Amino acid sequence: MSNTGNRPTDQGWDEPWYRVRTDRFQASFLPDAAEELGAVCNVDVEVRLTADGSRWSATMFTLAEVERLMKRWAQTGEGLEGRYFWCSDGLIVRDPGIDNMTQVLAVLLDAGDFTQVFRRLDDE
């Protein structure tokens, strides 16, 4: 993995967003305001690529969060009583936290898989 341009150059709150900037992209995460950033396990993210200004979105989940949701749905009846999980533009990661999720974004860009995983947003 190349680290050039993947390390955060700036990050912090821009309510309600938590923004992480690198030389290659800006990721705008929308966590629950009360949630510890290192424990985030289910979050919407919008990514703006520096190279062309294009905007992309996805919802990132940890494996543990998907399991938790499916167990809850087994009780509520959602998702055929928790027997399946589906989410448009969903990306499942192993480890929680904004820092981990930012690293996954960088690796997806390095590997050329980013545009296959994220949904491109139309500019207005």
Q: Which of 2, 104, 118, 123 is nearest to 53 (CA)?
A: 123
- Give CA–CA dist 109/47, Å, rounded: 11
pTM surpassing 0.75?
yes
Quick one: three-class SS letters along 37-69?
HHHCCEEEEEEEECCCCCEEEEEEEEHHHHHHH
Residue 79: inside a domain: no
CB 93 within 8 Å of CB 15: no
Question: Does residue 78 come out as left (phi exceeding 0), alpha (psi in the -120 to 50 range) or beta?
Answer: beta
Residue 97: inside a domain: yes
In degrees and rounded to multiples of 5, residue 117 shows phi and psi of: -95, -45
**Number of folded domains in the chain?**
1
Residue 112: inside a domain: yes
Residue 25: inside a domain: yes
Residue 94 pLDDT level (bands cut at 50, 70, 90)? very high
pLDDT at 107 over 50: yes
Residue 99: inside a domain: yes
Provide the residue range defining the domain that includes 106.
Answer: 10-61+88-121
**Model confidence pLDDT, tens digit, residues 57-93:** 999 999 999 999 999 999 999 999 999 998 889 999 9
CB 83 within 8 Å of CB 64: no
pLDDT at 5 over 60: no
Residue 66: inside a domain: no
Residue 73: inside a domain: no
Residue 19: inside a domain: yes
**Model confidence pLDDT, tens digit, residues 13-54:** 988 999 999 999 999 999 998 899 999 999 999 999 999 999
Residue 4 pLDDT level (bands cut at 50, 70, 90)? very low
